[in-house]
Structure 1
Amino acid sequence: MRLLQFLLITFLVVGVVAAQPAAAQESANPVCQEDSGTLASMIEGFLQLTTALGLMGLLVVWQGESVAEMFTLSRDQLSRIKQHKITALKSAVILVLLGPLFALAGRTMDLPVAQCVDLTPF
């Protein structure tokens, strides 16, 4: 179990550090040409803000649960705490992967917003 946690955390850290955001494509659709890209920059900023807050929330929950594990006496409480940590980790992985998956699906479906907005979280 510890190995799985280590691999997941390592994957997240390497993915965040090594990922380089793709350059937003310039095209002739109305979403991209709206007043020097304010809508595109608002969408990018919202995605980056929510992803950063979600990752910070994961760190706070993870550390809080780790401290609670040290003072827990019951096996039932300990198993619930570990299950909550796993749920928080799954939520953070989904949050980080949601932007790139939407970008891929949007480009496949030829959505105008996916062609000019960089949806990579970092």
Structure 2
Amino acid sequence: MFTVSALTSRIQTQYRTLRKTVHQLDWQRASRGAGLAVVLVSILLVDPALAQQSSEQSAICQSEKLPGMIEGFFQITTGLGIMGLVVIWQADSLGEMFMPNPDQKKGLKQHKRSALKSGVILIVLGPLYSVAGPLMGLPLADCVNLSPW
């Protein structure tokens, strides 16, 4: 036989699980929609930029300090992002050691994976822009090196 407290506890647990699943599905849908919106807006914004390429390229590349400032900003933000990744990774690893609940451990492992994905994107984005930028005719790619090393 089931007691009232056991049934209440079981219902609460199922409710939390269902709520968590619905939240994750909503987040996945929203992130897909946001990603599609970013791609579409980027495509729409690149055409005018390519049309004005010669005047923008000369203004940015002719400047003495602007390319160096952009490179420095990118190096600083990449370095801070990598340090943040290391801190998050270590904190999640420490938290995993002290979490008795398997669901909490699973959540921390998922957080570590998403942090690692963000770190990889952060590291790959600059060199990818440096390589693909000249092929696409982007104005900053000719005079700014976005490799963090």
Aligned partner of 2:62 in structure 1 is 33
Is residue 58 of structure 1 aligned with residue 58 of structure 2?
Answer: no
- Superposed CA offset, 1:56-96 (max 9, x none): 00010011011101100011011111010010000000000
Please give the root-mean-square deviation of Cα atoms over the aligned residues, in Å: 1.4
Aligned partner of 2:38 in structure 1 is none
Take 2:122 and 2:130, find their aligned partners in 1: how far apart are those partners? 14
**Which secondary structure state, in structure 2, belongs to the residue aligned with residue 70 of structure 1?**
helix
Is residue 70 of structure 1 aligned with residue 97 of structure 2?
Answer: yes
Aligned partner of 2:72 in structure 1 is 45
Take 1:89 and 1:111, find their aligned partners in 2: how far apart are those partners? 28
- Stretch deviating more after TM superposition (106-115 or 52-61): 106-115
Q: Which has the higher contact order (CA 8 A, sep 6+)?
A: 1
Larger relative helix fraction: 2
**Which secondary structure state, in structure 2, belongs to the residue aligned with residue 32 of structure 1?**
helix
Tell me, which stretches of 5 or more residues in structure 2 are unaligned?
1-56
Is residue 88 of structure 1 aligned with residue 115 of structure 2?
Answer: yes
Aligned letter for 1:103?
Answer: S
Rg larger for: 2
Moved over 3 A (4+): none
**Same amino acid, percent of matched pairs:** 54
Take 1:73 and 1:47, find their aligned partners in 2: how far apart are those partners? 40
Aligned partner of 1:121 in structure 2 is 148
Is residue 109 of structure 1 aligned with residue 139 of structure 2?
Answer: no
How many residue pairs are counted as aligned between the two chains? 93
Aligned letter for 2:67?
Answer: A
TM-score by length of 1: 0.71
Take 1:101 and 1:64, find their aligned partners in 2: how far apart are those partners? 30
